[in-house]
């Protein structure tokens, strides 16, 4: 797939779906700046950015000429991000796979997090709460509704690891 026609790319999906990895790969090919929502949201000690600051930052990012924004809801901003994108890529991978990936990375450094922020900074309760949301809550219906609402946005839905690998291999 030739990405040169797309200046604003939204990568959506649940925790552990591979959004950050795909964003890095696309950025390496296009030169687009990447905005990692987890990087912007969390500070050392697992302190979160305020909703007001997040909304201001998000509005500014969307004004950019070129961007890749990877992440989920980020304080309810998914719709405006989707609507502003030229291309939306939805990594809709199986929950069991995503759960395994989230558990595996709990003790690993994540390059898309701010320096000094470690997943181990979050309490065990926060990790279990996040895992529960992964199993229980799915944004699939919301993303598919956005696809219907904004047909001008090129939409790609990848539902398996193989589909993601094939997509990444075909990028130009």
**CA–CA dist 28, 132 (Å, integer):** 34
The CA-to-CA distance between both ends of the chain, in Å, stands at: 6
Instruction: Give pLDDT, residue 107.
Output: 67
In a domain, 66, yes or no: yes
In a domain, 3, yes or no: no
Report pTM: 0.84
Report the number of distinct structural domains present in the chain. 1
Instruction: Give pLDDT, residue 62.
Output: 95
In a domain, 2, yes or no: no
**83 or 37: which carries more pLDDT confidence?**
83
Query: What's the burial of 3, exposed, middle or buried (CB within 10 Å: 0-12/13-18/19+)?
Result: middle
46 touches 40 (CB < 8 A): no
pLDDT at 19 over 80: yes
- Which of 47-51, 65-69, 126-130 bottoms out in mean pLDDT, i.e. has the lowest? 126-130
Please write the tens of the pLDDT for every residue from 93-146. Answer: 988 888 778 777 776 667 777 777 766 555 556 666 666 665 555 578 888 999
In a domain, 1, yes or no: no
In a domain, 56, yes or no: yes
In a domain, 125, yes or no: yes
In a domain, 51, yes or no: yes
Residue 129: which CATH number? 3.40.50.300
In a domain, 33, yes or no: yes
**Three-class SS state of 131:** helix
**CA–CA dist 21, 121 (Å, integer):** 22
Domain range for 74 is 8-169
Rounded to the nearest 10°, the torsion over CA 73, 80, 86, 159 is 30
């Amino acid at each position: 797939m030739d990405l040169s026609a797309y200046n604003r790319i939204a990568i959506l999906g649940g925790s552990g779906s591979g959004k950050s990895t795909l964003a890095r790969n696309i950025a390496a090919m296009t030169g687009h700046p990447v905005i990692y929502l987890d990087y912007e949201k969390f500070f050392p000690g697992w302190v979160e950015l305020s909703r007001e600051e997040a909304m201001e930052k998000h509005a500014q990012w969307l004004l950019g000429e070129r961007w890749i924004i990877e992440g989920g809801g980020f304080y309810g901003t998914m719709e405006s991000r989707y609507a502003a994108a030229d291309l939306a890529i939805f990594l809709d991978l199986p929950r069991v796979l995503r759960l395994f990936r989230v558990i595996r990375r709990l003790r690993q450094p994540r390059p898309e997090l701010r320096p000094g922020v470690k997943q181990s900074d979050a309490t065990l309760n926060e990790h279990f709460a996040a895992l529960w949301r992964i199993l229980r809550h799915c944004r699939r219906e919301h993303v598919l509704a956005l696809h219907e609402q904004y047909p001008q946005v090129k939409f790609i839905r990848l539902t398996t690891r193989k589909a993601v690998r094939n997509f990444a291999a075909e990028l130009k």
